[in-house]
Amino acid sequence: MATAKAEKAAKIGAILDRLYPLPPIPLAHEDPFTLLVAVVLSAQCSDARVNEVAPRLFALARTPGQMAALPVARIQAAIRSCGLAPAKAKHIRALSQLLVERHGGQVPESFEELEALPGVGHKTASVVRVQAFGIPAFPVDTHIHRLAARWGLSSGRSVVQTERDLIALFPEATWGKRHLQLIYFGREHCPARGHDATACPICSWASAKRTPRPRPSLPA
């Protein structure tokens, strides 16, 4: 079973490499801090909207020190069209203050220090580690969690388990690339609803779901 799953993961990886050889980072940023803020903004908000909203915020403050000096109300006004703006504004100001007080205005690299910042969970920390610092990590978002279960690469019980399963299946050097490739594939080829699995370049052969066999006709 383990060998079959590894072979399936390798075949999926080859298809993803063909479709997305150099997947771009979807959130526009200039440094670890602007990436961190952009990922916090992306919770329940599309990347396209974040890329519209973030420049307005960074026009006001581009460093932790500058952001910590802004009133929460001014941050919220700049990000108003991004979902959950009141909570995100508080988190952005608070994490900026902690970056100044604890880390000399620099974004830390460790999971422990990142996850100690307000509004920063494990996925956000993983994104910052791999995309800002090049440290191997496999962030799991809703697209990746859904696809891993759909293809039988993970049980789908939790994002934590999905991350463990994918880390075990894919080589460490590919984690950052696979994370991005799976996001793009989920958006462009494998939606949650209205999906034609037979036309999907991966689901057509890798889907964990099996079509039930018709029951044999009983003799009259």
Q: H-helix or E-strand containing 19?
A: helix 2-19
Q: Can you tell me whether residue 210 is helix, strand or coil?
A: coil
State the amino acid at position 146 in one-letter form.
R
Is 37:198 a contact under the CB 8 Å cutoff?
Answer: no
Q: How far apart are CA 50 and CA 196, in angstroms?
A: 30
Give catalytic residue positions.
Answer: 123, 141
- The DSSP element (H or E) to which 38 belongs, if any, is helix 32-41
Rounded-to-10 torsion of CA 61, 63, 69, 73: 50
Tokens 């984690």 correspond to 175
Measured distance CA(67)–CA(91) in Å, rounded: 11
